[in-house]
Structure 1
Amino acid sequence: MIARCARALGLGGIALALVATSMPAAAQDNSDARIRKLESEVRALQRKVFPGADGRFFEPEISAPATTTQPATTTAPSTTAVTDILARLDALENQLQRLTAQYEVGSNALRLLEERIEKLEAGNAAPAVEAPAQAATSAPASRPAATQPAAARPDPARLAAVQAIAKPQTDDPGDDEYSYGFRLWDAGFFPEAQQQLTLFVEKYPEHPRATFGRNLLGRAYLDDGKPSEAAPWFLRNYQADKNAARAGDSLLFLAESMIALDDTQRACIALSEFAETYPALATGRLQGRYATARSKVTCG
């Protein structure tokens, strides 16, 4: 509504100014009547935007400039009418600007108040959520409330044992990260090894030890009884570089993961590809592990 009034006042002001520059002194009364009508419309806007029983809630209404006594001459100078109209238009425009500013301030204050009410309502809702728990603690002895297990705390002995494993400090920080993960895995601290080796493979994906890190990370999950988490790391390491130092190991461990997941078909595929791609490993360093895996499944 204020925007429409502003556009109306702006257009009306321009029109009045143009008419006043050419109107004779005899048309002064008609212009005064139109301006008074415009002022009354602004007063109505004041009452609508800033309602209240007294003047504290809005600016005082526009009052017409003090009437000056016309000289006794029969014809007033033409510049007097133009000056009077321009002055009254300036007053109207200034008043409209103040009304608009006060309306924006009031809208902003209302928005802040609504936000505070929403926060208060959210805070008052919290006790309602806690009420069932309070009622459970006051339940009769014949119906004891269920207790929640306390949050698991780290075993002090395990924590001390992990801290006792030293992290290497050499001029190759990537190798230090891998070696520390290997030491954790070798000591049987599989969750800690998983965390450390993940850090290594993500931070040093191009390190010469990367193939060892991905393969050992898979083993840390497999030895921890998590074949579904281990399999993606074995497959990723095998596919990254089939000629890498631990690519063949990962393919065989992938077959073991599939056996643990009762996926005989994929286990047989991995074992067949391992024997075909890495015959030296199948008859050499990994011969015993390969034979054990083959004994657990029947492949066509």
Structure 2
Amino acid sequence: MTPKRLRLFGAAAAIVLVAAPIAVAVAQTPMDDPLDARDAKRLDRMEKVVRELRDIVFKGQKTGVPVVVEPADTDSRLGDLSTRLSDLEATLKRVNGSLDSTTHDLDQARRDNAALRAQLKSLGDRLTADEQKMAEAAQAAQAAAQAASPPTPAEPPPPADPRAAAAAANADFAKARQMMLSGDYDSAEKAFSAFVTTYPDTPKTPEARYWWGKTLSVRGDYVKAAGAYIGAIRGWPQTAWAPDAVVELARSLVQLKKSPDACQALAELPRRYPKAPPAIKERAATVKLQAKCT
């Protein structure tokens, strides 16, 4: 053995020689009061340490081999605790990471819900606006239908001579037409309105409705104008003014923001009146662009 090992061996032997009598004396010394549980445990630990040291000394004496002292049980437990603490720290890190991810997902879900609510509100506002527009269009169509069929007042008793009645109708039509040609659209509008009311079934009545629609268009009354044009082209008459009445009807419908109806009327023009003058066809093309027909 080296001097250093001899010194360690001698120190251990001394501790054993000193501690052994003490332990025996303690064990043999009578005590007035019994030991409590804690003191008993401490005494057991001391005895265990003494026995271990004695075994170490005797083992060194017999073999002469350096004795390797195993780490105390406390160090092992401390190592276990350290390992457990490390595991707990790793678990806490994973839990914190999971909580961060969950918080991020919740925030994203809140943002998505807010965006969805905004979209639903926008859709609701658009539906309300569309319903209002549809109601306005229905009112305009109803007004146009009423204008196309004005109430017929009590007719005056017909003249005894049918030829005299026809002559009177022609004279009233000529007066209304002359008012329009002279630029007196207000008087012409009243005259043609009175004509279609007084003479609802004469050969001149459809044309009177056409000219009545013209006076209404000049005044910007497109609702009544559309009704007048519809009455004029009912049955698609083969007359010189009928193609222009179709174009004027479509133009009035565009002004009333009823482009699909305008496009439908313009689609009938080449089929009903294939020989319409070029000027009418050019005007129809212009209105078709305004209506954005496909």
Is TM-score (shorter-chain normalized) higher than 0.5? no
Of structures 1 and 2, the one with the larger relative CO (CA 8 A, separation 6+) is 2
Q: Which TM bucket (shorter chain)?
A: 0.3 to 0.5
- TM-score computed with the length of structure 2 as normaliser: 0.40
- TM-score computed with the length of structure 1 as normaliser: 0.40
